A and B are shown apart, each in its own frame.
Chain A
Amino acid sequence: MKTGPLPIAALLVILAGGLVVATGLGSSFIGPSRVAAALLGNGSRTDEIIVWTLRLPRVALATLAGMALGLSGAILQRALRNPMAAPSILGVTDGAALGVVTFLWFFSDDANVLTVSIHWQPLAAVAGAFAFAFLVGLLTVADRARNDPVRLILYGIALAALAKACVTLMMIVGPVYRASQALQWITGSVNAAHWMDVGVVAAGLALSVPVLILMRLPLRQIVLDRQTAITTGLQVNRHRIGLLVLSVMLTALAISQVGAISFVGLIAPHAARLFHGQFRSGYLLGSALIGGILVLAADTFARTIASPLELPAGAVTALIGAPLFLLLILRRQVRNG
């Protein structure tokens, strides 16, 4: 396994290049050099408006959300010692969707107007995500075969289906305008991004950094099996719950802004593991960077492939992520058998 700062530097370069290219692509193409000039503040006035107020918030939001998802997946897989765990598979995403729909339904009046600020919506997503993560965790803990890593995923799948059914019903019962609002959110797209949204995700990421630095030792110890981890002086349960909370929070924050984007939290850590030792401290950073690159690429592809129509970015990530997940299941089985 290669280690060292080189892969991280390479990822940073790819991400920076991707940001410039993605900002340039759109209804009017802007060359990389003009984008760079606009970013540095010495481009033409039109270029600067397009770049700073139209394109960049969206591109930045996609990247940051992807980073949060990648990081969340890496933490989740580490905390559960389960390489197949991913936030979107555990029912968290659909739980967040249910939170959003409930919020829109509960706080709309008869005239279809929201009675509270729309800025509470992320909070509703976070609450829904936590509620369903909690339920999935509860079911798994109550299961006799709880040590089988697949159980957690299966309960996640089951509860996700239930959450989806609730969402559908509430959208039908709820006012039409709100339904379309919710649908737009659920299909997972990054359009209509504002700097405000970017700030929310960035704040979440920034807050998780000191937490992760504080937990750097437990993060390594928790990879060991339970008994050994306890012997090394780790309070396994407490740290596991702490890491799970952090992971769910990051996912919820990301999807509350960009909608249900699936499979990123699953793939990014695996990709990071491919060229970066998972016991190096750069592993989490690598997962985050790859997650950012993935969502940025998916969103850019989704909005340019059939322009002016727009594909939900979540569909693109599912299309790439699902075969990889299958590969993962097959490889795991080969190793076990």
Chain B
Amino acid sequence: MIRTLLLLLLTLLIAVIASLHLGVHVYGPATVWQALFGGAESSSEIIVRTLRLPRTLNAVLTGAALSLSGLFMQAVTRNPLAEPGLLGVNAGAAFAVAFGLVLLGAVSIAGIGLLAIGGALAAAALVFGLSGALGPAAGPTGILLVGVTVTAMLASLTQLVLLIDETALETLLFWLSGGFADRPLPLLSIGVGALAIAFTGAAALSTSIDALQLDDQSASGIGVDVARTRLSALTLAALLSAGAVAMSGPVAFLGLIAPHITRRLMAARPGFLALSLLAMLTGAIIAVLADILARLIVAPGEAPIGAVLAFVGVPFLIHLLRAKRLRGVGV
């Protein structure tokens, strides 16, 4: 556990350093050092300080938030396919923000955060409520069908809203395509807040969630309030994904793959709290690496992060669909 933690921290550090150096222009270590600590004002140092550094921080926070969100969802639903992007939660937050910006004219950072949280919670309630109505017979894939459909519906609603205001379309289309670059820095505070609350929640819920890994009956048998645990965990998951959407727009697949990779890093199965810490690190690493890739593969253009993640995420999703034991996350 400690060794994995240290390894992940080291990897993240290397990824962050690489992210500061690599891009359309590759900067030497001296330039990056000067930009961060020297206060020099040449154009390349300004680029590193005002463009590369913020987007790297954004990637770290968004990756951690989405990964933890996916972990929460997968753990309490015992569904390996649960993920904020595929379950419509991202789309709900995105729709709420678009709706608020266009129709209510809310533009403050706090406003965007609140809208994203409201939308994410509403969409999560809708998707989990509907799939709850499906009953356990629907299996892990029923919820995915519901989520993808709700996503389609919300996306077309977003399109409708955007049609009303063409100027909003210009700014929002960019934001809605998802990515870590050129985001307003103060938005990061929403992500930090969401992560802090959710990680505290993970600490508080960890024993209950660990008990949930068995099955509902055994869990309630040892005194766990199953419904309340599940509800709190899903609320935290929605909060995290709302924070991520507020920072970077809807980013799919990250919340799906990061928790799975985390679980596979360890031979023994750690408790939920340890797992969530590792998952946050793994998510951050994946996000930073994907962001570097997004800068490089179509340089001098820039690929949307969603496309980069789809190339990794889709084969992974297919692999999960083909896996022998789709039920149960304890792979």
Contact = CB atoms under 8 A, between A and B. Distances in A.
Interface string A310-327: 011011101101110110
Given A262-B152, A329-B146, A315 B298 contact: no
Contacts of B303: 168-169, 172
Given A165-B307, A169-B298, A306-B163, A330 B134 contact: yes
B317 interface: yes
Contact of A322 (B135, B150, B318, B322): B150
Interface stretch (B111-119, B136-144, B215-223, B230-238): B136-144
A333 B160 contact: no
Nearest to B310: A165
A172 B302 contact: yes
A153 B163 contact: no
A312 B159 contact: yes
B153 interface: yes
Contacts of B313: 161
A115 B257 CA distance: 42
Residue among A164, A315, A325 facing the most chain B CB atoms (10 A cut-off): A315
B311 A162 contact: yes
B156 A322 contact: yes
Contacts of A319: 153, 156-157, 160
B249 interface: no
B205 interface: no
Nearest to B147: A157
A158 B145 CA distance: 11
Contacts of A123: none
Interface string A132-145: 00000001001110
B148 interface: yes
B265 interface: no
A206 interface: no
B8 to A, nearest CB: 27
Contacts of A168: 303-304, 306-307
Interface residues of A, number: 43
A311 B141 contact: no
B142 A309 contact: no
Interface string A156-180: 0111011011101100110000000
A337 interface: yes
A318 B152 CA distance: 7
B298 A154 contact: no
B306 A158 contact: no
Contacts of B145: 84, 150, 153-154, 329
A263 B149 CA distance: 10
B135 A333 contact: yes
Residue among B149, B166, B306 facing the most chain A CB atoms (10 A cut-off): B149
Interface of B: 130, 133-135, 137-138, 141-142, 144-146, 148-150, 152-153, 155-157, 159-160, 163-164, 166, 252-253, 297-298, 301-304, 306-308, 310-311, 313-314, 317-318, 321-322, 324
Given A318-B152, A329-B149, A333-B142, 9 more contacts: A155-B321, A161-B317, A162-B310, A165-B306, A172-B298, A318-B153, A318-B155, A329-B142, A337-B135
23 contacts: A150-B145, A153-B145, A154-B144, A159-B314, A161-B252, A161-B310, A161-B314, A162-B310, A164-B310, A165-B306, A165-B310, A166-B307, A169-B298, A306-B163, A312-B159, A314-B156, A322-B150, A322-B153, A322-B156, A326-B150, A329-B134, A329-B145, A333-B134
